[in-house]
Amino acid sequence: MDPIVILQAGVATGTVLLFATLGEVLAERSGVLNLGVEGMMLIGAMTAFSVTIATGNPWIGMFAAMIVSGLLSQIHAFIAVTLQADQVVSGLALTLVGTGISLVLGEGLSKAGTVSLMPSFSVPLLSEIPILGPIFFAKQSVLVYIGYLMVPLAWYYINHTRPGLHLRAVGEYPAAADALGINVFRLRYAYVLAGGMLAGLGGATISLAVSPGWFSELTTGGQGWIAVGLVIFAQWDPVRAAVGSYAFGALRRLILDIQAPLTLFGVNNPFYYNPYLGFFLQMLPYAFTVIVLVVGSREAIRKRLGAPAALGEPYIRGERGK
Amino acid sequence: MAESTLTKPRGAWRIRLEPRLEEPSTALSIGVSVGAVVVALILGGIVIAAVGGNPFVSYVYIARASFGSLGVLSDTIVKATPIILTALACSIAFRMKLWNIGAEGQFIMGAWGASAIVLAPVLPAETSRWLFIPVMTLAGLGMGAAWGFIPGYLKAKFDVNEIISSLMLNYIAVSWVNFWIFGVWTEGGFQMSPKFPKGAELPRLSDFASSIPFFRGLTTHAGLLFGIAAAVVLWFIVYRSRWGYEIRLIGDNPQAARYAGINIVRNTVLVMALSGALAGVGGMSEVAGVVRRLQTAPIAAGYGFTGIIVAWLAKLNPLVIIPVSILFGALILAGREIQPSGIPKMIQGIILVCLIASDFLLRYRIRIVKVGEE
């Protein structure tokens, strides 16, 4: 129950959510709601793990996961962008397909034993900083550091670059973007692809770093859905997405650690003496997601913030008012 | 779209898309759906072949193991029963464009509610079936409705996305049931409750084998009657009642519904609760008719997610849901013995992908035309 340890592990666990959430922020900013995150993460985790077994190199596993999840995301892009179908059902279908294919191809992987994982290291100097050093920069996986870099990059890209402006235009007012010569369809495909690759990276982060291995559907355990919820909480902003992801990571770790000590705040630890109370702890991340959504929606209403205006709407050329 | 390729030389062939102005005919929409399922089975077969299986053997096996004899047909109907109810639950919510994907959790809570009557115990074990079953049904219905009410209320009151909230409640429902079967109602430390007394079981056909020998060994239970009755009632609500008209109008055109003075907030809560209630009855029927004790794995088996696909394939029509559920019951029943074990789930997912993609053919007419000869 050392708070530093919980936060340190929380940052690592939260990196999974961070990648998936950032990916979904990009897709949704372009106007495409992709509910297939859970399926893409699962297939990413499975691919990363099995390719690493086959090649012995976790980096190849990681890139393979990104490619496979990216390919899967293009099914959704085709249905949502080209066929203009309902994005909710299509995303749901993608999750089912991703889950099913991962289960079929991942058969037997759970008994595969150990593989070489993504390297972990401490950052010199930075890890010496009191409190923050051990939490953020000591013995973290290289993926965690990649996550740190990605947040400011994504924020700068979306808010302060020309392609980022195009991205926002396509998500807010695709007809205007089209009139300016921006290829709405191509950009939406591209950002759904980016979202899929990041979801795959999130999956790889699970199976190659945070909780190594393949545990069928329990590998992700709904984290893809939590990521979709976090995007709303984050109000489509990468920095808020990072805060939410790390907080959820810490919560997941706290749930594990709180069951270990004999006493808690000077009294007998009820979770130690009645292990089945742990089921209530297991509910917490999911219950928190709902609470966070309630808080986030109220805030959004108060500040008049909203989703990208064209989110979930297919863009049809020549149709008025779109 | 038609103007986009005007620069092409005259005489070149190209594909032109025309939006269909009229509703597609029933025959066309059935044909497209069947075509989508066939394409899905072919794609699924390719994956099965890719992992070293034989798709023909798998599919023939599925057909034989689910429709091959009266006994297995009866088992198929047993698997279809919970799917009918969860698909009805999804269909009524989807009709209003409320994306309740929490039928799984509502189903689980319904099973828990019905079990609580037996295990708490609310009614003593020697209670007559005529009292036990109605009370258990009401409990399942009530718990399911409560579990559907939560995302409905959060959506109506705080504009919380019901997709995420209903899905999160699935995980909470599983933990909730686990708590009770581990901590409170455990049978000798195993992860299940004691078996229900006779009075708390839904009768099976085989229970009547002493008077009608033909029913010997048939497992189909009275839960099927719940499913059929619910489908008929729901059909009347959706297509023949004023409330159903409101629900359809909100789903098709919320703006117009608002101008017409229809209370969207109230309907959101009501429809989500009704959806949850249907799934909850499904949970009750499964726990009282098949499992006959509270246990997580056979209850949280994904019926809520299969219900989504069935509802979509049936075009949200309550009566069509019944035969479609039987087909999916067959897939799940036979799929239990097929290796690798994820195949039924994968095929279900691929079917939904093909279905949603095929909707395009119902919205557009595809013509191959010569440029300049339009």
Q: Which residue shows structure tokens 């085709």?
A: A78
d(CA B294, CA B111): 7
B81 in reach of chain A (CB within 8 A): no
Q: How high is the pLDDT of residue B11?
A: 66
DSSP readout, B265-312? HHHHHHHHHHHHHHHHHHHHHHIIIII-S-BHHHHSSSHHHHHHHHHH
Element (H, E) at B19: strand B13-19
d(CA A321, CA B23): 23
Give the other-Cβ count within 10 Å of A263's Cβ: 10
Q: Do B160 and A276 touch (CB under 8 A)?
A: no
DSSP readout, A55-109? HS-HHHHHHHHHHHHHHHHHHHHIIIIIS---HHHHHHHHHHHHHHHHHHHTTTG
Closest of A75, A98, A44, A104 to residue B45, by C-alpha:
A104
* Mean pLDDT of all residues belonging to chain A: 91
d(CA A124, CA B317): 64
Q: Do A103 and B345 touch (CB under 8 A)?
A: yes
Q: Is the pLDDT of residue B318 over 90?
A: yes
CA distances from B214 to B75, B209, B217 (A): 15, 7, 9
Q: Do B179 and A279 touch (CB under 8 A)?
A: yes
Q: Let me know: does B282 contact B85? Beta carbons within 8 Å.
A: yes
Q: How high is the pLDDT of residue A304?
A: 66
Furthest C-alpha separation in chain B = 85
E-only strand ranges, B297-354: none
Nearest CA in chain A to B351: A93
Side-chain half-sphere CA neighbours of A106 within 13 A: 26
Give the other-Cβ count within 10 Å of A268's Cβ: 10
Q: In angstroms, what is the C-alpha Rg of chain B?
A: 23
CA-based nearest distance B24→chain A, Å: 16
pLDDT confidence of B214, banded at 50, 70, 90? confident
DSSP readout, B150-192? HHHHHHHHH---HHHHHHHHHHHHHHHHHHIIIIIS-BTTBSB
A313 in reach of chain B (CB within 8 A): no
Nearest CA in chain A to B313: A89
ipTM of the shown complex:
0.91
Q: Let me know: does A20 contact A204? Beta carbons within 8 Å.
A: no
Note the pLDDT tens digit of each residue in A156-189.
999 999 999 999 999 999 999 999 999 999 999 9
Q: Is the pLDDT of residue B15 over 60?
A: yes
Interface contacts A/B by beta carbons within 8 Å: 151
pLDDT confidence of A322, banded at 50, 70, 90? very low
CA-based nearest distance B219→chain A, Å: 29
Given CA atoms A70, A74, A75, A81 in this order, what sign does their dihedral have?
positive
Q: How high is the pLDDT of residue B246?
A: 95
User: Among partner residues B165, B343, B360, which is closest to A83 by beta-carbon distance?
Assistant: B360
d(CA A105, CA B170): 26
Residues B292-305, mean pLDDT to the nearest whole number:
91
d(CA B219, CA B216): 9
pLDDT confidence of B92, banded at 50, 70, 90? very high
Helix %, strand %, coil % of chain A (to 5): 70, 0, 25
A283 in reach of chain B (CB within 8 A): yes
Residues of A within 8 A of B178 (CB-CB) are: 276, 279
pLDDT confidence of B3, banded at 50, 70, 90? very low
pLDDT confidence of A77, banded at 50, 70, 90? very high
Backbone angles phi, psi at B370, to 5 degrees: -90, 130
Note the pLDDT tens digit of each residue in B36-67.
999 999 998 998 888 888 888 888 888 888 88
Note the pLDDT tens digit of each residue in A25-38.
999 999 999 999 99
Nearest CA in chain A to B305: A96
Q: Hey, is B29 helix, strand or coil?
A: helix
| pLDDT > 70: percent of chain B | 96
Note the pLDDT tens digit of each residue in B161-175.
999 999 999 999 999
Could you tell me which residues come within 8 angstroms of residue B338 by beta carbon, excluding any fewer than 6 positions away?
B58, B61, B62, B344
* Interface test mutation site (partner A, options B99, B167, B179, max chain A beta carbons within 10 A): B167
d(CA A231, CA B291): 39
B19 in reach of chain A (CB within 8 A): no
Q: Let me know: does B333 contact B326? Beta carbons within 8 Å.
A: no
A295 in reach of chain B (CB within 8 A): no
Q: What is the per-residue burial (b if ≥16 Cβ within 10 Å, else e) of B214-223?
A: ebeebbbbbb
Q: Is the pLDDT of residue B373 over 60?
A: no
Q: Hey, is A237 helix, strand or coil?
A: coil
Q: Let me know: does A199 contact A19? Beta carbons within 8 Å.
A: yes
Residues A198-226, mean pLDDT to the nearest whole number:
93
d(CA B309, CA B104): 13
Note the pLDDT tens digit of each residue in A302-316.
776 678 888 888 888
* Interface test mutation site (partner A, options B182, B356, B358, max chain A beta carbons within 10 A): B356
Q: How high is the pLDDT of residue B9?
A: 60
d(CA B116, CA B110): 10
CA B85 from chain center: how many Å?
A: 6
pTM of the model: 0.92
B112 in reach of chain A (CB within 8 A): no
Could you tell me which residues come within 8 angstroms of residue B124 by beta carbon, excluding any fewer than 6 positions away?
none
Q: In angstroms, what is the C-alpha Rg of chain A?
A: 20
Q: Do B158 and A289 touch (CB under 8 A)?
A: no
Note the pLDDT tens digit of each residue in B115-153.
999 999 999 989 899 999 999 999 999 999 999 999 999
Side-chain half-sphere CA neighbours of B260 within 13 A: 13
Q: Let me know: does A35 contact A96? Beta carbons within 8 Å.
A: no
d(CA B162, CA B260): 24
Q: Do B357 and A92 touch (CB under 8 A)?
A: no
Chain B residues 164-223 within an 8 A CB cutoff of chain A: 164-165, 167-169, 171-172, 175-176, 178-179, 182-183
Nearest CA in chain B to A84: B360
Q: Let me know: does B144 contact B280? Beta carbons within 8 Å.
A: yes
Q: Let me know: does B108 contact B299? Beta carbons within 8 Å.
A: yes
Enter the DSSP assignment of B221. Answer: B
User: Among partner residues B48, B172, B349, which is closest to A99 by beta-carbon distance?
Assistant: B349
CA-based nearest distance A75→chain B, Å: 8
B6 vs B208, residue with greater confidence: B208
pLDDT confidence of B309, banded at 50, 70, 90? very high
